[in-house]
């Protein structure tokens, strides 16, 4: 695998911004290799790059942009559709790497909290954690073509699940979003709300018609 020099350099800069003085940057190649594992039809390097691009647009809204940026690098580093602890394992990897790099404990805790906030069951109250979640789910408010590609990618990642069970589970996930008073919890990403609800409703209808 050829590691993107741009992404690797950005990861190393983010580590330095967080206060790492040791070998945390050496994790970069392994981290990006994890993002490039086979089977990541959606949750791969392109998703990481999209999240970082969205973050660049809203960086000014973060209290600790250094922590949010590092959290984005790690949030789906471990991604196994058969597991239920991907976020916890990704957060543990981040903690281990940043401790090794000598980052301040408070900064490490912020990174870990942002990663754990991306669990579907989480209800983050910290502003940076909320911004992190909004960035991660901004795909829901993408244009129709991009959203549909995302839905196809997720289905491909769960190819091992039979159609009937997948449809039931996916509708459950999507309807959970629709049931929220606001899908996006930060002013920085509020602009995605209308498109997200339209995309999700359309996907639920399509799945239900299968």
Structure-derived torsion over alpha carbons of residues 99, 132, 138, 50, reported in degrees to the nearest 10: -30
- The DSSP string of 168-206 is HHHHHHHHHHHTSS-S--SGGGGGGHHHHHHHHHHHHHH
What's the confidence (pLDDT) of residue 25?
A: 61
pLDDT in tens, the chain (210 residues): 455 779 999 999 999 999 998 776 679 999 999 999 999 999 999 999 999 999 999 999 999 999 999 999 999 999 999 999 999 999 999 999 999 999 999 999 999 999 999 999 999 999 999 999 999 999 999 999 999 999 999 999 999 999 999 999 999 999 999 999 999 999 999 999 999 999 999 999 999 987
What's the confidence (pLDDT) of residue 196?
A: 98
Which letter does DSSP use for residue 186 in this model? S
């Amino acid at each position: 695998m050829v590691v993107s020099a741009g992404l690797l350099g950005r990861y190393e800069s983010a580590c330095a911004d967080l206060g790492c003085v040791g070998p945390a940057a050496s994790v970069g190649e392994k981290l990006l290799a994890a993002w490039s594992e086979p089977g990541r039809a959606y949750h791969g390097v392109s998703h990481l790059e999209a999240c970082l691009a969205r973050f660049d647009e809203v960086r000014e809204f973060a209290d600790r942009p250094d922590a949010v940026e590092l959290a984005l690098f790690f949030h789906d580093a471990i991604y196994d559709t058969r597991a239920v602890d991907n976020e916890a394992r990704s957060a543990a990897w981040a903690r281990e790497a940043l401790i090794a790099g000598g980052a301040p404990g408070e900064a490490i805790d912020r990174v870990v909290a942002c990663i754990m906030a991306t669990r579907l069951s989480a209800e983050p109250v910290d502003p940076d954690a909320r911004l992190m979640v909004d960035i991660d789910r901004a795909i829901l408010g993408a244009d129709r073509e991009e959203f549909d590609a995302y839905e196809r990618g997720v289905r491909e990642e769960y190819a091992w699940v039979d159609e009937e069970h997948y449809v039931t589970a996916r509708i459950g996930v999507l309807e959970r979003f629709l049931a929220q008073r606001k899908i996006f919890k930060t002013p920085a990403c509020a602009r995605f709300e209308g498109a997200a609800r339209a995309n999700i409703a359309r996907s639920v209808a399509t799945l239900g018609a299968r």
